[in-house]
Amino acid sequence: MSAGFLDIDCVKYACTCGLLKTLQQLYFCRYCSELRCTFCVSHEVDSHFCGKCCENLPSAEARVKKNRCVNCFICPSCRQELSTRAASKQPANPEESKATKRTYYLSCLCCRWSSRDIGLPDQTAATGSWPKRESIHSNRIQEIVSMYKGLQEKEKLDKEFFKKKQKEKIISYTDKTGITAAALRKRIGLPEDKPILKPKNAVKIVTPSKADENIDDFDEEVLTKSINLLEITSIDQRLLQPDVQPKEISNIFPIQKILSIKRSLRCRRCEHNVSKPEYNPNSIKFKIQLFAYYHIPEVRIVTVEPLRAGQACELILKFTNPTQHQTTVSFLPFDSPIEVKEAIPEEGAISQEDSLEELDKSSLTPSKKKSSSGTKLMSLVDTHITLTTSRSSARALSPRSIAESINCTVDIPSSTFILPPRDDAAEYDDFNEVHNIQDDKKLVVWRKSNKAYIKLVVTPNEDMPIDTTVTTGFTMSHLYTNTIASVADNKKPQKFNHNMRVILKLGKSVGLN
Amino acid sequence: MPLYEVEKSTIVLDIGTAYTKFGFTGEPVPRSIFRTQVKSKGQLRSLLDYQDSQDLYDMLVDFFHDIYFKYALNSPKDKPIVIVESLLCPIIFRESVAKVLFKHYGISSLLLLSSHLVSLATLAVETALVLDVGYKEAVCIPICYGLPMINAWQSLDLGSCSIHRNLQSLLYEKNSGAESLSEWILEDIKVRCCFVTKRSRAEQLSLSKPELGPCPEVKYPVEGNSILRVTGTIREKAYEILFDEDNDHLCLPTMILDALMKVNVDLRNQLAENILLIGGTTMAMGFKSRLKEELLHHMKEERYRKLNIKCFKFHASPSKENYTAWLGGAIYGATDWLNTKALTKDEYFEDNRLPDWSDLKYNTRRP
């Protein structure tokens, strides 16, 4: 998760779902214009590949191969990847052929385990020829599965038969008038009605398991023979091979490597991708990457005066605009409400109202009628309501409250400041620095290209003991320019204020001087 | 196997306190067995060490993330899942699992199966007494003609956890510094060195001066810098906690006998001749023969005279004991039950709750 030196968690942003993450860990959905994090997006498997040989497998093929690579193995002793080693074998009879035969075995470069340790014969081909093992019980289990499948099928047929029989019991009108159904069918020219047959019992019943009275799972040898720990497998080594779970180290077997996947992330609300990798396992690039780092102004702590309980101190923050559009940043108190766009689409809201009306109607119905079928009616209405709401709000995850307590107040400045757009060329241009920006000198200390240094005054709480971590926060509001709509409809880029909470960890409080 | 058949396979999970068994329906062996642990806030934590429901929810999200994207390599959305659970699973845990799966991962349906009941599917029998000795507790439930006899269930907090505690105190007597051994080292010592001894030896060992030669000692290296002396007595006595009667005169064998006492007289013999042991702890060497010895011994006691059982017979499932319940789930999940009996998304969202056998709302006979 960590993104190296940039990812210092002094400054955290509150994601729309309420979790605190650093800017590098966040995504920004351009369609909903909301922050997203790995917790509140839905993950999808994009492509399968082997982490060792980088072979790309289509998902259907991966499934057939049980999500394991055919060619790569891991060490059954230490789980590291095994490497294929070549050995040249001199032919037994030198006159027979002059060419030396190459054979291959698997060896672990980490723990020196090799496939020769367990007596596995060397293979003549480097890949694909290692013997595979099947569970000894698989036939029996297959039989049991097909028996249960058959039983359930039979149960279903029996039920249908019963239903048909019930239907037959009802005397039809034609029967009363003397014309039997069979005669009528004949007259119309329909084929003769076949009597319903009871479905045949074709399930092959497996011989049930026989319980045994004699158990012999105690080995007398254990009482006298001393054991060598190096010859006994640990529980992790046993569980690597669930079917055998070998007790001795001589029975372990190379294990096929499990495939890895590439994931794409999708916003839960609008179902647009926020991150999509390229298909090729060798490529580390993305097709789609909506990282918040490219859209949201970055806040960094520059300096902070010593923090003393109850005393105001100066805090300088650096704001950087990563976008190609000029933005205006203003401050709001930390607990100012942030409007989250309604998760419920309008249709849902309307149908909910409808169902509420229905509920009213049902309560208006005469009590006599209600007493007979009241409960049923109510429950029907209930389900209707829950169904309509469940489609939208109930199934969506509700945001949680922010799990961080603020023990330091910020004097929220009333003025705003402008951040110019990012200009990559400006980095190389030291002299031509012209600002035509009228700044509030109290707020902006200094600025350069797309960065601004902002002075804030913070006051730690009065009752704070020495050496507690001082946490402060504010709501940052910045003008966001959405270019998505302009591309689609040839309109001007939409501009609106985007608010988010920022939490700063300023360090430990100190005593009075 | 043709492609379309593989397409249908569904994830089967048996989330145990110590180990989680993971695989797909219709397969004879789980794909992997791994510790029920989650990396949360920078440290490995057991899934069942949760503080509150929010904490559990977050851990479960991470846990299922690992399952879907590390082991199953499958997108969870709109797919069914089978989970094998104990009848005594805490409600908060079940509810959280359902919430995570339906709300966070958007699965299409969830089939919850009782571990004791489905274990019988591996044997193709209908009546058996199932004893599950896992990590935290031992639970015994008789199953008669496919119906769990809930009134006869027995449970004790005997399992790997209590064996580890016992082993730790035994080691502490002989070695200083044994009190700080981690759970996993204790487990490793137990698995590699300890075994269940015979009844005659156990009786001698419990005396102050046993008249028998102890089995060989094992020198167990810890973290490369110290050596633990695992004496022969420790090796034999580690499992004794399962067979020592506690203050209420209860132990593992009495659980089976007590359960038999509570079922109908006509079923007792049939159940005693169909005992199935599941759970990883029952895989210890000598466990089954000792349990049989103990059962026969306890039968002589006055309180069980009424039982009138002559012999006890044990089943061997076509699996290792630690994944028998999982295998049962895999067999059930391969049948039509997955479509007919599973809880679907719409049913779950009707009242955001999981049907529970202990809840009369779901557990009444409908006319």
Could you please report the per-residue DSSP string of B247-260? Answer: TTS--HHHHHHHHH
DSSP helix/strand/coil, B266: helix
Q: Between residues A482 and B280, which one has the greater pLDDT?
A: B280
Interface of B with A in 255-314 (CB under 8 A): 273-275, 283, 285-290, 292, 311-314
Which of these, B303, B306, B298, lies nearest to B268 by C-alpha position?
A: B306
Q: Answer whether residue A6 shows pLDDT above 60.
A: no
Q: How confident is the model at residue A513 (pLDDT cuts 50, 70, 90)?
A: low
Considering only alpha carbons, which residue of chain B is nearest residue A239? B33
Do A267 and A274 touch, CB atoms closer than 8 A? yes
Question: How many beta-carbon pairs under 8 angstroms link A with B?
Answer: 190
| Strand locations in A224-292 (E) | 255-258, 260-267, 273-277, 286-289
Give whichever of A332-336, A400-404, B255-259 has the largest mean pLDDT: B255-259
Do B167 and B190 touch, CB atoms closer than 8 A? yes
Do A449 and A427 touch, CB atoms closer than 8 A? yes
CB contact under 8 A, B32 and A242: yes
Q: Answer whether residue A396 shows pLDDT above 70.
A: no
Which helix H or strand E contains B97, and what residues bound it? helix B91-99
CB contact under 8 A, A209 and B336: no
Q: What is the radius of gyration, based on Cα positions, of chain B? A: 22
Q: How confident is the model at residue A467 (pLDDT cuts 50, 70, 90)?
A: confident
CB contact under 8 A, A224 and B346: no
Strand B218-222 relative to strand B154-156: parallel, antiparallel, unpaired?
unpaired
pLDDT average, residue stretch B347-361? 84
Query: Would you state the pLDDT for residue A80?
Result: 92
Residues B119, B325: Cα–Cα separation, whole Å: 5
**Mind listing the domains of chain B with CATH numbers?**
3-119+321-351 (3.30.420.40), 125-158+246-307 (3.30.420.40), 160-242 (3.90.640)
Q: What are phi and psi of B170, to 5 degrees?
A: -65, -40
Interface of B with A in 150-179 (CB under 8 A): none
Which of these, B318, B320, B319, B298, lies nearest to B309 by C-alpha position?
A: B298
CB contact under 8 A, B349 and A395: yes
* Min distance B64 CA to chain A CA atoms (Å): 12
- Residue B85, beta-bridge partner list: B114
DSSP B159: S
Q: What are phi and psi of B133, to 5 degrees?
A: -110, 105
pLDDT tens track for A323-381: 988 899 999 988 877 766 544 333 333 334 444 444 444 444 343 333 333 333 344 44
Query: Would you state the pLDDT for residue A155?
Result: 86
Q: Answer whether residue B134 shows pLDDT above 80.
A: yes
Considering only alpha carbons, which residue of chain B is nearest residue A47? B73
Q: Between residues A373 and A196, which one has the greater pLDDT?
A: A196
Choose the weakest-confidence range: A381-395, B112-126, B157-171. A381-395
pLDDT tens track for A72-102: 999 999 999 999 988 887 666 666 666 677 8
* Min distance B141 CA to chain A CA atoms (Å): 17
Query: Would you state the pLDDT for residue A346?
Result: 37
A138 contacts in B (CB within 8 Å)?
28-29
Cα A423-A429-A435 angle, rounded to 5 deg: 70
Q: What are the distances in angstroms from CA A507 to CA A4, A301, A460, A468, B158?
A: 20, 11, 11, 8, 48
pLDDT average, residue stretch B133-151? 93
| Percent of chain A's residues with pLDDT above 70 | 76
What secondary structure does DSSP assign to A493-508, as a single string?
PEEEEEEEEEEEEEEE
CB contact under 8 A, B69 and A142: no
CB contact under 8 A, B318 and A148: no
CB contact under 8 A, A229 and B218: yes
Q: Answer whether residue B349 shows pLDDT above 60.
A: yes
| Percent of chain B's residues with pLDDT above 70 | 96
Query: Would you state the pLDDT for residue A391?
Result: 42
Residues A13, A474: Cα–Cα separation, whole Å: 10
CB contact under 8 A, B193 and A227: yes
Query: Would you state the pLDDT for residue A447?
Result: 85
Query: Would you state the pLDDT for residue A486?
Result: 58
Query: Would you state the pLDDT for residue A240?
Result: 92
Q: Answer whether residue B290 shows pLDDT above 80.
A: yes
Q: How confident is the model at residue A404 (pLDDT cuts 50, 70, 90)?
A: confident
Averaged pLDDT score across all residues of chain B: 90
To 10 degrees, what angle do helices A367-389 and A346-364 make? 170
Query: Would you state the pLDDT for residue A355?
Result: 42
Residues A104, A127: Cα–Cα separation, whole Å: 9
Q: Answer whether residue A35 shows pLDDT above 80.
A: yes
Question: Any long-range contacts for B45-54 (C-beta under 8 Å, 24+ apart)?
Answer: B46/B17, B47/B15, B48/B17, B48/B93, B48/B136, B53/B92, B53/B95, B53/B96, B54/A400
Q: Between residues A108 and A350, which one has the greater pLDDT?
A: A108
Which of these, B333, B343, B325, lies nearest to B82 by C-alpha position?
A: B333
CB contact under 8 A, A209 and B317: yes
- Which amino acid appears at position B244 of this protein? D
Q: How confident is the model at residue B33 (pLDDT cuts 50, 70, 90)?
A: very high
* Min distance A110 CA to chain B CA atoms (Å): 17
Residues A79, A82: Cα–Cα separation, whole Å: 9
Q: For A241, how many CA atoms within 13 A lie in the half-sphere containing its CB?
A: 25
pLDDT average, residue stretch B42-48? 88
Query: Would you state the pLDDT for residue B350?
Result: 87
Query: Would you state the pLDDT for residue A386?
Result: 41
pLDDT tens track for B241-254: 999 999 999 999 99
pLDDT average, residue stretch B280-303? 92
DSSP helix/strand/coil, B45: strand
Query: Would you state the pLDDT for residue A382?
Result: 42
Q: What are the distances in angstroms from CA B329 to CA A137, A163, B86?
A: 16, 31, 12
Query: Would you state the pLDDT for residue B65?
Result: 94
What secondary structure does DSSP assign to A39-61, as a single string?
TTEEEEEEEEE-TTT--EE-HHH
CATH class of A297-340+400-508: mainly beta
Query: Would you state the pLDDT for residue A180?
Result: 67
Question: Any long-range contacts for A133-136 (C-beta under 8 Å, 24+ apart)?
Answer: A133/A243, A133/A244, A133/A253, A135/A243, A135/B28, A135/B29, A136/A243
Query: Would you state the pLDDT for residue B95?
Result: 93
Chain position carrying tokens 């058959």 = A150
- Residue A48, beta-bridge partner list: A57, A261
- Quick count: other Cβ atoms within 10 Å of Cβ A125? 11
Q: How confident is the model at residue A193 (pLDDT cuts 50, 70, 90)?
A: low
Query: Would you state the pLDDT for residue A123?
Result: 84
Q: For B363, how many CA atoms within 13 A lie in the half-sphere containing its CB?
A: 8
* Min distance B144 CA to chain A CA atoms (Å): 15
CB contact under 8 A, A215 and B292: yes
- Which amino acid appears at position B142 of this protein? P
B71 contacts in A (CB within 8 Å)?
67, 258
Query: Would you state the pLDDT for residue A430?
Result: 64
| ipTM attached to this prediction | 0.89
Which of these, B15, B95, B20, B16, lies nearest to B54 by C-alpha position?
A: B95
Considering only alpha carbons, which residue of chain B is nearest residue A46? B75
B216 contacts in A (CB within 8 Å)?
224-227
